Amino acid sequence: MSFSSRFLWALLMGILFASLFIPVVSAATIKGAVYNVFLDSLDRAIISINTLPEQTLVSQDGSYAFNAPPGKYTLIAVYDENGTLYSSSEQVIISDEGVYVIDLILSPEFGDEPFFGNWTEDEFVPYDTTPSSLGFAVSLVAILFFLLYLILNRQHFLREEHDHTHSPPTQQEATPQPQTLSGDTEEDIQKLLSFVKEQGGRVTQKEIRKIFPLSEAKISLLIADMESRELIRKIKKGRSNIIVLP
């Protein structure tokens, strides 16, 4: 074997040997969903992660996914709803390859600082900064206020529904309106029978006369006819009669 052949062979072996000690950079998947404070998924929210280079995408059906090597990152999401900007940021540390599920809950943004376009080279991984507690506190207070608002509104609507359901009947509902009889015995009997049913199957003869302004004799004849057909029962109580359904 010539010198040049031995040199090429040694070079190839050296490259192969060196490649065994070169660390292989593994990548992890960061994925999750984007919600508002009502836990509704947000479609077309903008999510960014400060990898090198920076990655930015628009959520599809409220979901997102990034690939990132091990390191410390910041996820930022913003959503514009009718001119109101909602935002959220989340720190994530990738220690090994795999799938990291990070769901983001967006709350109203306070302040005028833009979220995107201000990354500096120092902010790219690896870096070691302590996240500000002020933004977290403000976001937490905003979420608590929203939850309190929902609870109070729910109780208010429940009270209104309860009051509407159990409101006392009006005078028109409580007091039956006078009715007229046609003079046809069968039709009049059906009207009287319906009135007794509306009163819960029990009514006095005096109440019948108030609703059907006829002579006492006419009312007595109709009640006697209904009693003979066993449509009602007449119970004597003092100087009045109580009409009940059988």
Exposed/middle/buried for 112, CB within 10 Å: 0-12, 13-18, 19+?
exposed
Cis previous bond, 178, omega within 30: no
pLDDT confidence bin for 189, thresholds 50/70/90: confident
pLDDT of residue 173: 45
**Greater model confidence, 119 or 109:** 109
**Overall number of domains in the chain:** 2
Q: CA 50, 53, 59, 65 torsion: positive or negative? A: negative
pLDDT of 13 higher than 90: no
Question: Does some domain include residue 62?
Answer: yes
pLDDT confidence bin for 1, thresholds 50/70/90: low
Q: Tell me: do 32 and 138 sit in the same domain.
A: yes
CB neighbours of residue 191 within 10 Å: 17
Q: Tell me: do 128 and 192 sit in the same domain.
A: no
Domain of 128 in residue numbering reads as 24-145
Cα–Cα–Cα angle for 70, 71, 72, rounded to 5 degrees: 145
CB neighbours of residue 196 within 10 Å: 20
Closest CA to 229 of 241, 246, 212: 246
Mean pLDDT of the chain: 76
Of the candidates 125, 145, 165, which is a domain's last residue? 145
- The CA dihedral of 211, 216, 221, 222, to the nearest 10 degrees, is 0
Q: Tell me: do 93 and 182 sit in the same domain.
A: no
Q: Tell me: do 98 and 35 sit in the same domain.
A: yes
Question: Does some domain include residue 119?
Answer: yes
Question: Does some domain include residue 151?
Answer: no
pLDDT of residue 185: 77
Q: What is the mean pLDDT of residues 6-12?
A: 57
Is the full-model pTM beyond 0.85? Answer: no
Alpha carbons 49 and 67: distance in angstroms, whole number: 10
Of the candidates 107, 128, 145, which is a domain's last residue? 145
The CATH number of residue 42's host domain is 2.60.40.1120
Where in 69-128 does DSSP place strands (E)? 71-81, 84-94, 99-101, 104-105, 107-108
CB neighbours of residue 1 within 10 Å: 6
Q: Tell me: do 179 and 141 sit in the same domain.
A: no
Region for residue 32 given its phi and psi (left: phi exceeds 0; alpha: psi -120 to 50; beta: otherwise): left
At 73-88, the pLDDT tens digits run 999 999 998 888 899 9
At 215-226, the pLDDT tens digits run 788 888 888 888
Element (H, E) at 185: helix 185-198
Q: Tell me: do 131 and 60 sit in the same domain.
A: yes
Q: Tell me: do 199 and 138 sit in the same domain.
A: no
Question: Does some domain include residue 213?
Answer: yes
pLDDT of 106 higher than 70: yes
Q: Tell me: do 36 and 92 sit in the same domain.
A: yes
pLDDT of 240 higher than 50: yes
Read off the DSSP letter of residue 194: H
Q: What is the mean pLDDT of residues 115-122?
A: 46
Region for residue 203 given its phi and psi (left: phi exceeds 0; alpha: psi -120 to 50; beta: otherwise): beta
Question: Does some domain include residue 35?
Answer: yes
Q: Tell me: do 104 and 213 sit in the same domain.
A: no
* 100: CB partners within 8 A, 6+ apart: 28, 29, 30, 31, 92, 94
At 128-147, the pLDDT tens digits run 334 445 556 767 777 877 77
Q: Tell me: do 125 and 61 sit in the same domain.
A: yes
Question: Does some domain include residue 163?
Answer: no
Question: Does some domain include residue 67?
Answer: yes
Alpha carbons 60 and 82: distance in angstroms, whole number: 19
Question: Does some domain include residue 158?
Answer: no
CA distance to 90, 112, 124, per residue, from 135 (Å): 11, 13, 20
Q: Tell me: do 118 and 180 sit in the same domain.
A: no
Read off the DSSP letter of residue 41: B
Q: Tell me: do 33 and 128 sit in the same domain.
A: yes
